Structure 1
Amino acid sequence: MSSLVTRNTISRAFSLDMREGISSANVAARGGAFGSAGGAKDLILSMLTLGIYSFVKSSIIDQKRAALEEALKQLCEKIAAHPAANSHTVEVDGKTIEFKQDLWLGMNVVNISLVEKGHRSELGNVTGESLWSFKTILASQLGMDISSPHTGSKDVRNAIADNLDRLASVNGFESRAGSKVFFSERRDFVSLETFGDNADAEWCLLRREHGVYDLIMYESAENLLQYRLPHPLTRKNIEEGQIIRGTDMLQHLS
């Protein structure tokens, strides 16, 4: 059986230089559609086949769109799970699509390529977007809820609130586990957002050195990873393992 998602399907989905606005271009829908919008030819064929042609064509469109949507959902999940990575690949109907973040004239650009038998052919690019922001746009198109399961965790927020004065002190908060956590001026030293300003914000711990952590918003930690920015205090590169989220934070906040 021949593949429904052909090279042309993938090319049609991503070949557009999306600087004009990726948010207004539904990638899966564009790829799933046929090359032409139809017209007299489709009408005649549908009449001659008593509507069967239109039904089959519509079914094929739906199947191609569903396959592309599934691949894009996997891409969103990969980017969310590994924000520091600068490239990701997904499989769709036996074909590999690569999404790679680069810089062009000082701007972020996501280059999209089809990889076949070791050969890479560029399909298009999204200028002005990082992989992370590209993921956010795709997730919106797909109706995905990619919010963190830790967002707004009552246990974490309560632990921070209970120890706020000591966290904000010069000496920091010393936990029973022996670690130290600092939260100078009760605010994220990257975004400068104060604890309590945003009830939906997720807070995390960023390891400064062994046993020493800073309390910042997870969004700030993601940005440091995504844009490969050094730790604001140590000036060293940050790795995913330096970030502690959710209930794993509680041992350092009690």
Structure 2
Amino acid sequence: MGGSLEFSRAIEKRFLQLGGKINYRARVEKVLVEDNRAVGVRLQDGLEHRADLVISAADGHATIFEMLEGRYINEELKARYAKMPRFKSLVQVSLGVNRDMSGEPPLVNYLLDQPVRIAGEEHADFSIHNYAYDPTLAPRGKTVLVCRFMSDINQWRELARNRESYEAEKQKITDTVLGLVEARYPGISEQVEMADVATPMTFERYTGNWEGSMEGWLMTTGNFMSRMKRNLPGLDNFYMIGQWLQPGGGVPTGAVMGREIVQTICQKDKRKFQTSIP
């Protein structure tokens, strides 16, 4: 319960128990390199941290083309980032409603008689995620409902050039979603106490994911077994992990690769890989 925040806090708690240290609000601007060896990172505020190894679990595109300025790349990597399909980003509409929805399903997908347009793209279906099962998200007797639509960031970049246009599109989407939800749960639009719209620009800003992508590389029949190497050509003391190394992305990929890279480092240092249950 508590969503992704509580999930992250559980990982944080264990990491700190094992002696780790975390710096929040400390975005990396550049990977420091000396003689083709990664030696640390520089933050946006100019602070530098030196390190024996650098492991990037950040966005793959930002790591390769911004933090490392595209200096350590080969034709295979160029082709991947130029041609491999990616998951689009999302428009997410979150509603806080003064209604107990605990008797309703946690997720329902509806096919629409008439498609709706969300940021210039047509959608023939939509889903309502009902979080009534999680008491940490709303007071007793109230519920959080969430609707999500795949969305390309380019349309939003244009809208964001004018704040009024950007906010107007968000309000239009809110009104559209309220109409869709009202058709399934009559009277609920009058019970909406809050509404929040996150756009691809929001996801890009908060996660750093390339173009706000929700899960990195889109899995296809041609790439589902492919996996990018964890190091970059010509660069020592550096590893990459996370969803941008393997199609499908998401939390499971990140978790598995985190474990695997520690195993790799232990093997290289001739140390036994050990785990423990708290």
**TM > 0.5 between the two?**
no
What is the TM-score with the length of structure 2 in the denominator? Answer: 0.20
Q: Which has the higher helix share?
A: 1
More RCO (CA 8 Å, sep 6+):
2
TM-score normalised to the size of structure 1?
Answer: 0.22
Greater C-alpha Rg: 1
